[in-house]
């Protein structure tokens, strides 16, 4: 063990476990500065018992009980998943509501970014031609057309960043009138009108699908694009219907999409970035591939940046119901009023019932990678996950599929699945922050995704995928505040287009995955 200084992180004074910091892990016999001697080899980011824990006694991390010891644990032992019994989730009918509402934070003034102002009041961080779709059947056609547009048309419109086929797996073969259908339909509607696409949509439909264009975009005057000349120029949506009797063959269909796209590109190319207050940011926060460091490095740093955004008047959304469920007792007291607290409980209860219908429960959450990274169960994962929410009052709870416009800290209910959560947050956000411990090359086509690593080892292994290394918090090279400020400034630079994220650089775009709690037919 020459040259190795054994270190663990204890988050809270009450904790009876700490996590190993050393990148290679530590061998039996390693002596920590506290005098604690490690009894067995323990990998990095895994837990070591700081004191004797008798069978049935609580295992405490973050100052909270993450479970009870399934057997006696001696000091210096590796505390594995099977040494901890999963406790029952906090009961939803006896939670304190709005009992510890944080005072409004000191306003943070003077921070701006250069964004694209839209007619509907929203602000874009990118200038993208988005081609919406009503149904999966048209996806390959639209992807073919998008490739042609990118090659043949886009070079003439230098102010437009990209062309994106907004394809998905929804739209037909579903019970479209079932209550659950509202979620994917609303999500896809908001994405079709996304702030980064300038608000004047171009939508491609098949014709016979359940999700008709008028159902996707209700209340808007749809303009049919056939084989002949385009309809008059307006901001109403253009709709190309593949089964339109006007068309003779695939090439005529593609030509119609290209004609409509060219008109939209002319409009988008006239957009210019203008200084906008940081309050126009709507930032979606998410974690994926978390490890035991996530809750002490990247997620608290994101939480610090979230507080800065809230102080600047912006919207910050955190999500992932199953990763909030076991920390809900820490959040309901922070609800700005009892109604918001009750709304949070409503979303937790809905998801409990949803999981129960599928004969699953919250223990289905941690992945093998989470466990390899030292996260023993969903309670420990949740306590680390909610650190992203910072310290301000919870101002609003949005249900699945709702578009979020409230300023301040918002819980937007979504599943924890990265691509489903990202798709739902995309309905509202113009910037995305994604933390990871195990590593994920996740990216979205319509918004920039800033990737934050929990460990320096990951940032060094993936220097061209990770935008910010928060592992410096574990080694003491930076404080949580240092990383939080660095992240805040990077957000303004990325939102302004002055910097591109690594996933933008490589064009890594995960497929949209709308959450469909309704039946498939």
- Provide the binding-site residues for Ca ion, judged by CB under 5 A: 286, 288, 416, 418
Rank residues 343 and 421 by Cβ distance to Ca ion and give the closer one.
Answer: 421
CB of 288 to Ca ion, least distance (A): 4
* Half-sphere CA count of 323, side-chain side, radius 13 A: 31
For 39-83, where are the E strands, in sequence order? 47-49, 58-61, 64-69, 78-79
Rank residues 132 and 288 by Cβ distance to Ca ion and give the closer one.
Answer: 288
CB of 515 to Ca ion, least distance (A): 13
CA distance 210 to 365: 33
CA distance 316 to 308: 10
Rank residues 376 and 424 by Cβ distance to Ca ion and give the closer one.
Answer: 424
C-alpha Rg value of the chain to the nearest Å? 24
Cα-Cα-Cα-Cα torsion 470, 474, 477, 478, nearest 10 degrees, comes to 50
* Element spanning 162, H or E: strand 162-166
Rank residues 385 and 456 by Cβ distance to Ca ion and give the closer one.
Answer: 385
Rank residues 256 and 416 by Cβ distance to Ca ion and give the closer one.
Answer: 416
Residue 83's alpha-carbon distances to 12, 66, 71, in angstroms, are 21, 11, 6
Of 484, 486, 453, 458, the residue nearest 470 (C-alpha)? 453
CB of 510 to Ca ion, least distance (A): 12
How many angstroms separate the first and last alpha carbons of the chain? Answer: 61
CB of 251 to Ca ion, least distance (A): 41
CB of 127 to Ca ion, least distance (A): 28
CB of 418 to Ca ion, least distance (A): 4
Rank residues 73 and 416 by Cβ distance to Ca ion and give the closer one.
Answer: 416
CA distance 466 to 263: 37
Burial (Cβ within 10 Å: 0-12, 13-18, ≥19) of residue 218: exposed
Rank residues 212 and 286 by Cβ distance to Ca ion and give the closer one.
Answer: 286
CB of 470 to Ca ion, least distance (A): 17
CB of 444 to Ca ion, least distance (A): 13
Of 24, 13, 110, the residue nearest 63 (C-alpha)? 13
């Amino acid at each position: 063990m020459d040259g190795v200084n054994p270190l663990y992180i204890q988050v809270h004074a009450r904790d009876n476990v700490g996590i190993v910091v050393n990148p290679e892990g530590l061998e039996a016999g390693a002596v920590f500065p506290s005098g604690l001697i490690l009894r067995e080899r323990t990998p990095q980011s895994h837990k070591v018992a700081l004191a004797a824990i008798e069978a049935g006694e609580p295992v405490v991390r973050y100052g909270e009980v993450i479970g009870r010891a399934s057997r006696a644990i001696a000091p210096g032992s590796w505390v594995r998943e099977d040494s901890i019994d999963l406790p029952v989730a906090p009961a939803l009918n006896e939670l304190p509501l709005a009992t510890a509402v944080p005072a409004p934070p000191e306003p943070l003034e003077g921070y701006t970014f250069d964004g694209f102002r839209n007619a509907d009041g929203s602000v874009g961080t990118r200038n993208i031609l988005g081609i919406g779709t009503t149904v999966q059947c048209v996806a390959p056609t639209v992807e073919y057309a998008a490739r042609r547009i990118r090659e043949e048309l886009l070079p003439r419109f230098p102010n437009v960043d990209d062309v994106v086929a907004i394809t998905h797996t929804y739209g037909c073969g579903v019970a479209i009138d079932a209550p659950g259908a509202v979620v994917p339909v609303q999500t896809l509607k908001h994405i079709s009108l996304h702030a980064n696409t300038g608000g004047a949509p171009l939508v491609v439909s098949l014709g016979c699908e359940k999700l008709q264009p008028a159902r996707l975009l209700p209340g808007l005057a749809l303009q049919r694009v056939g084989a002949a000349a385009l309809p008059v120029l307006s901001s109403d949506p253009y709709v190309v219907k593949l089964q339109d009797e006007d068309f003779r063959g695939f090439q005529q269909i593609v030509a119609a999409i290209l004609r409509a796209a060219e008109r939209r590109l002319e409009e988008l190319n006239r957009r210019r970035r203008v200084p906008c207050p940081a309050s126009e940011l709507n930032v979606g926060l998410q974690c994926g591939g978390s490890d035991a460091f996530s809750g002490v490095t990247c997620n608290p740093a994101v939480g610090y940046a979230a507080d800065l955004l809230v102080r600047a008047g912006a919207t910050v959304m955190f999500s992932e119901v199953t990763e909030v469920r076991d920390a809900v007792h820490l959040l309901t007291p922070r609800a700005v009023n009892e109604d918001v607290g009750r709304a949070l409980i409503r979303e937790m209860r809905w998801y409990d019932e949803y999981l129960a219908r599928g004969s699953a429960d919250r223990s289905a959450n941690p992945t093998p990678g989470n466990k390899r990274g030292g996260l023993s169960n969903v309670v420990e994962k949740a306590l680390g996950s909610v650190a992203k929410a910072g310290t301000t009052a919870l101002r609003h709870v949005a249900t699945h599929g709702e578009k979020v416009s409230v300023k301040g800290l918002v819980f937007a209910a979504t599943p924890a699945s990265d691509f489903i959560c990202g798709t739902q947050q995309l309905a509202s956000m113009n910037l995305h922050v994604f933390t990871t411990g195990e590593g994920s090359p996740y990216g979205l086509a319509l918004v920039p995704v800033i990737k934050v690593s929990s460990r320096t080892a990951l940032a060094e292994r993936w220097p061209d995928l990770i935008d910010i290394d928060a592992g410096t918090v574990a080694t003491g090279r930076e404080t949580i505040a240092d990383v939080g400020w660095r992240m805040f400034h990077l957000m303004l630079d990325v939102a302004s287009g002055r910097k591109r994220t690594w996933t933008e650089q490589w064009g890594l775009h995960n497929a949209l995955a709308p959450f469909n709690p309704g039946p498939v037919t």
